[in-house]
Amino acid sequence: QAKTTDGGTAYVLTKVEGGSASMYLLGGSAQPDWSTSVNKKIEVTGPVQEPPSADKDSAANPNVVRPPAIVAESVRVVAESCT
């Protein structure tokens, strides 16, 4: 779970197995259920979308991360811990 630049909440997948990136932003329609999966190992299926280009304000800020996004079609808990 992370904060967006406008103060919203974003869910980020880290410790990714498979895929071409080390982290992904999680998006899709099941968002209210994602908070119950924080710090659990999950399996996500759905298409990957490349991040939008950085605007001039965020391009200069090294704290702004723009990972690719997964539009979650399904999310399944496979283990109660990420380790």
Q: What is the mean pLDDT of residues 16-20?
A: 85
Tens digit of each residue's pLDDT (9 = 90 or more) over 48-82: 998 877 666 555 677 777 889 888 888 888 999 87
> Percentage of the chain surpassing pLDDT 70?
82
Give residue 31's pLDDT band: very low, low, confident or very high (50, 70, 90): low
Q: How far is C-alpha 23 from the geometric centre of its chain's CA atoms?
A: 7
Locus of tokens 């924080």: 38
Q: Looking at the chain, which runs of residues are DSSP E strands?
A: 2-3, 9-13, 24-28, 41-45, 48-49, 69-72, 74-79
Residue 5 has pLDDT above 80, yes or no: no
pLDDT at residue 55 in the model: 63
Which DSSP symbol is given to 2? E
- pTM attached to this predicted model: 0.70
Question: 3-class SS at 56?
Answer: helix
